[in-house]
Structure 1
Amino acid sequence: MSTRPGPWASGRFDVEGHRGAKGLVVENTLASFAAAYDAGVTGVELDVRLTADGHVVVWHDPVLLPTKCRSTGPDLVGARVADLTLDQLRTVDVGSLTLEGFPEQRPSPGARISTLDEVLAHGLERAPEVWWTIELKVNPLDEGESAHRRRLLEGVLSRVHDARLERQCFVHSFDWAVLELSAELAPQVNRSALVESAVTWVRGSPWTGSVVVGETHVDVCEGAAAVGAQVISPEHVLVDADFVERAHAAGLAVLPWTVNEADRMVELVQAGVDGLVSDYPDRALSVLAPACA
């Protein structure tokens, strides 16, 4: 049994559905989350952004992409989420279009962008034991997003508190400044540092908060621990047994993303990771049942 806080503390390997279960149902819709719960996940990963009128909504992209969104009123495709009110966003169908690269993906016709409150309430009703990996979409190179970092975080923490999920979630971000701020505002809420290959841990990186790559810290795991993370969530190509050993030595659990190939899932379990995030949580649970036995 791991002493690191998280779903793995029970001794169970953590399988998290990515944006619900993106490979099965159109992402970040209630139907996609339901598919993840039905598969038997221990956790779900989701993305949050702020609307123009201050609502925390569950959506990945900064703009409404034509491959995912269909206007049912005024044409809002191509608009920035941050420039639209919740009422405006509610006019957009985000469930009818499936993605070419996901042949098994089912539509959820008429689905609308949900608020974080709605997704949490739905999850608590359907699968009250799941952990929530809540990715705050903040790009430190985008002045608008970085200026609203605190407002978004405060909105997330408020909704997590109201749902009584403070001990059952991770504040999760590529922008490590979010994690440092979260450690100040809500030290009891666990934090997860996202890492993208060739982007996060490079000299001059704007993504690592107060940590200066190669100066204050040389190793990415030690850097993540320094900003107050309990979890490091690297792009899976970065992970091998040595990475896991370094992370565990720094007190971090390891939760790689986004792992969809069966052979790679098994390799990561053998390397000692604590869990993984997949577009196909049903596949991961099926493949990993013997590997985790």
Structure 2
Amino acid sequence: MHLLAHRGYHAKLPENTLTAFASAVEVGFEGIETDVRVSADNEPVLFHDRVAPNGVAVAALTRKQLSEVCGYTVPTLTEALDALPGIWWNIEIKTPAAASLALPILSDYDSSHRLLVTSFRHDVVLAAAEMLASDCGLLNAHRPAALSTLLHAALPHPNLRTLVWDCEIVDPDILRQANALGFRNAVYGAKTLYEHQLMQELGVHTLITDYPQYVGLLPG
């Protein structure tokens, strides 16, 4: 099972920062999951929440202003990809506006970096699959009544073969169905050691986790 650090190793460091990313690699993660949004000065910034700590929308703040509010330098997508070129990057694109900036950048790294491009906006993922050769994945916060309804749009795109599930909604049946149709399963949101071990027992391809203390406790 492949292990990605959710927003980097942020137990003692600000999440989605270059130091959190480097620390995650140091403790044994294969790669990083991070989030792309657009700042007011049209920068593709790595920031998860829609609203900054001061209550102002990220989209209404320049990168400099956002960094001042947070108390650390908020990196851009390009800075992160350049800083750690040899790892696996799961780039979650938060909005269509972020996609308009991120996808052209990712196309420049398509052949040199290992990428997995995901979004809860499935229209964004389809656009990424058309533009890039890199792997793409559909983020899911709900369990569909029928898997076919979710996969119909993905099937024409051979690089769109990853489904990313919330740990709370995933179950063995849907994992088996996805595998039988040629899709890999990734999971986010596992919180306990038991959940981490269960995901491995269920044959999950990739686990996106906030808990580096469990990395060394999973069977190799």
Query: TM-score of the superposition, structure 1-length normalised?
Result: 0.68
Structure with max Cα Rg:
1
Corresponding residue for 1:26?
A: 14
2:182 is aligned, of 229, 242, 251, to: 251
User: C-alpha offsets along residues 137-183 of structure 1, whole Å, 9 cap, x if unaligned?
Assistant: 12xxxxxxxxxx1x422321222233455651111111111111222
Moved over 4 A (4+): 164-167
Structure 1 contact 18–258 (Cα < 8 Å) conserved: no
Corresponding residue for 2:49?
A: 61
2:163 is aligned, of 232, 256, 259, to: 232
User: Which structure 2 segments of 5+ residues have no match?
Assistant: none
Corresponding residue for 2:23?
A: 35
Structure 1 contact 221–232 (Cα < 8 Å) conserved: no
Q: Check if 1:135 corresponds to 2:60.
A: no
Structure 1 contact 193–224 (Cα < 8 Å) conserved: no
Q: CA deviation at 1:220?
A: 3.1
Structure 2 contact 186–207 (Cα < 8 Å) conserved: yes
Q: Separation in 2 of the partners of 1:249 and 1:50?
A: 37
1:89 is aligned, of 37, 62, 66, to: 66
Q: Check if 1:285 corresponds to 2:212.
A: no
Q: Check if 1:117 corresponds to 2:48.
A: no
Q: Separation in 1 of the partners of 2:207 and 2:149?
A: 20
C-alpha change, 1:179 and 1:113, in structure 2 (3 Å) is: same
C-alpha change, 1:17 and 1:225, in structure 2 (3 Å) is: farther
Q: Separation in 1 of the partners of 2:182 and 2:190?
A: 23
Corresponding residue for 1:168?
A: 114
Structure 2 contact 46–74 (Cα < 8 Å) conserved: yes
Q: CA deviation at 1:120?
A: 1.4
What SS class does the counterpart of residue 188 from structure 2 fall into? coil
Aligned length: 216
Matches within 5 A, 1:202-281: 219-220=146-147, 223-224=150-151, 226-227=153-154, 228=157, 229-280=160-211
User: C-alpha offsets along residues 183-233 of structure 1, whole Å, 9 cap, x if unaligned?
Assistant: 2322x12111111137xx4xxxxxxxxxxxxxxxx5236613633431111
Letter in 2 for 1:41: F
Structure 1 contact 14–276 (Cα < 8 Å) conserved: yes
Percent of aligned pairs with the same amino acid: 29
Q: CA deviation at 1:15?
A: 0.3
Q: Please identify which structure carries the higher strand content.
A: 2
C-alpha change, 1:221 and 1:118, in structure 2 (3 Å) is: farther
1:193 is aligned, of 138, 157, 168, to: 138
Structure 2 contact 52–66 (Cα < 8 Å) conserved: no
Q: Separation in 2 of the partners of 1:278 and 1:21?
A: 9
Structure 1 contact 52–84 (Cα < 8 Å) conserved: yes
Matches within 5 A, 1:71-110: 77-92=54-69, 94=70, 110=71
What SS class does the counterpart of residue 207 from structure 2 fall into? strand
C-alpha change, 1:44 and 1:184, in structure 2 (3 Å) is: same
Q: Separation in 1 of the partners of 2:150 and 2:130?
A: 17
Letter in 1 for 2:204: V
User: Which structure 1 segments of 5+ residues have no match?
Assistant: 1-12, 66-76, 95-109, 139-148, 202-217
1:156 is aligned, of 102, 118, 121, to: 102
